[in-house]
Amino acid sequence: MPNREKTLGALDEKMTEKIRSAYFADPKNTIIRHALSRNPVVDTAYNSAAAAGTSLHFSVEVKTMSVCNQRSSGRCWIFAGLNLLREILAKKAKIGNFQFSQNYISLYDKIEKANFALESIVKLADHDPDERVFAFILSCPVSDGGQWDMFVNLVKKYGLVPQEAFPETFQSNNTRETDQLVNAAIRGFAAKAHALAIKGENEAIRALKEETMEKIYHMFLNAFGVPPTTFRFQYSDDKGKFHSEEGYTPMSFFEKWIGVEELESYQSLINSPTQDKPFGKNYTINFLGNVIEGKEINHLNVEMEKMKKAIIAQLKSGTPVWFGSDVSFFRDRSSHAWDDNAIDYESVVGFPVVFDKAAMLDFKHSAMNHAMLITGVDLVKGKPVKWKIENSWGADNGSAGYYVMSSSWFDLLVYQAVVKKEFLSEKDIEATKKEPTRLNPWDPMGTLAD
């Protein structure tokens, strides 16, 4: 006879029968089961009534260019950063449409991230690979994602080029394979470096690191292409006058059209209402970055109303806002309306998929994972009721690639915004200059937008 002694917490026959009986007793489950057999959950749960009031008209709007397309890559943070900078160039050059080379920044990001990961492993090589920090780094040494300060470090070090000077390749648009390959090289290095560290052979680790980095560098040049050292910039201005400017380098192009001062005029704000991060303090994240010698991540944690005030001020000045949010559940590619009430998951699956914002951060349910631009806001009696988003998913989605974000979606799912320091108080600016609190690599504020 089998041992049928009850085990606490087991899903036994009695409990299973009770659950199944309750399932069949509710006729709604038959309708939902039939609907889900041929439709995605998100479409089945769509609530069209929530789309009311999401017209693409705004009381404050920055007119921006046609959207870009990051294709099958997680480079949204690079696209959003370059989309912000291209508006600056377009005003100066008086042109209607322009793209910086996303491939150029992406190439150097992958190279710098690989170097950053290898150097992190050199520091940790004598640790057990199951030690939490080491294990976290090994879980995904190089990915597509990033944060604002990582973008700034790349542009300051490598400059910028027009897209026609360094166009996309298949690999830059489809990054899964090269991500797998570079991480294979890095983990292989980690295994060898650990064995050498145990024997105290530090010079051998350094030599192995340089050899590995060279191979990785070559792989990315093959995949993304060899970037130009000089190029010509040709364009026609708004009066139809043709311009052809010779002899640019990536750095001279950046310095003429953007400049270091412009990049350094921005500050990252976060909204993390958790007990471990008091508002008014700045934070950085251990072992997060790309350019080793670059500026560390610096986030100033602020109340949501303060973040909104700074965003609105920047929009009124005519400048879009780079921001990071969680698009895990309430994004909708087909409709332009993004509202957390527009997809009624609870009616379909029986439970809510979002809860208190601080709890979602603490319990690893939500974090910033996608970066875009805010280009407009609709104010009613001075309060924002909806926001305009420029995404990088191509013009075939949303309304020609643009979306409308409801006020409640913003409050619940926006975690980061990058604004000019001129729209912050002196107290806040001083706070950003203080020694930051250092967070663990797995802190939700260290997640990467992709």
Structure tokens, 112:
């710098």
Torsion angle of the four alpha carbons 160, 257, 401, 327, in this order, in degrees rounded to the nearest 10: 60
Structure tokens, 117:
């990961």
Q: Which residue is catalytic, options 76, 115, 290, 397?
A: 76
Give how far Cα 399 sits from Cα of 4, 82, 138, 153, 246, Å: 59, 21, 40, 33, 38
Query: Is 68 a residue of the active site?
Result: no
Q: Is 8 exposed, middle or buried (0-12, 13-18, 19+ CB in 10 A)?
A: exposed
Do 144 and 179 form a contact (C-beta atoms < 8 A)? Answer: yes
Do 196 and 208 form a contact (C-beta atoms < 8 A)? Answer: yes
Partners of 43 in beta bridges: none
CA angle at 434 for the pair 430 and 435, rounded to the nearest 5°: 170
Partners of 174 in beta bridges: 72
What does the alpha-carbon distance between residue 410 and residue 412 come to, in Å, rounded to a whole number? 6
Do 80 and 392 form a contact (C-beta atoms < 8 A)? Answer: yes
What does the alpha-carbon distance between residue 362 and residue 366 come to, in Å, rounded to a whole number? 9
Query: Is 391 a residue of the active site?
Result: yes
**What amino acid occupies position 115?**
N
The DSSP letter of residue 330 is S
Q: Which residue is catalytic, options 282, 301, 370, 397?
A: 370
Q: Which residue is catalytic, options 282, 301, 369, 391?
A: 391
Nearest to 144 by CA among 191, 100, 192, 107: 107
Give how far Cα 86 sits from Cα of 40, 51, 232, Å: 37, 31, 17
What does the alpha-carbon distance between residue 414 and residue 128 come to, in Å, rounded to a whole number? 37
Within 10 Å of residue 200's Cβ, how many Cβ atoms? 10
Residues 6+ apart with CB under 8 A from 123: none
Structure tokens, 288:
């997060």
Nearest to 361 by CA among 294, 402, 416: 416
Within 10 Å of residue 191's Cβ, how many Cβ atoms? 13
Active site residue ranges:
76, 370, 391
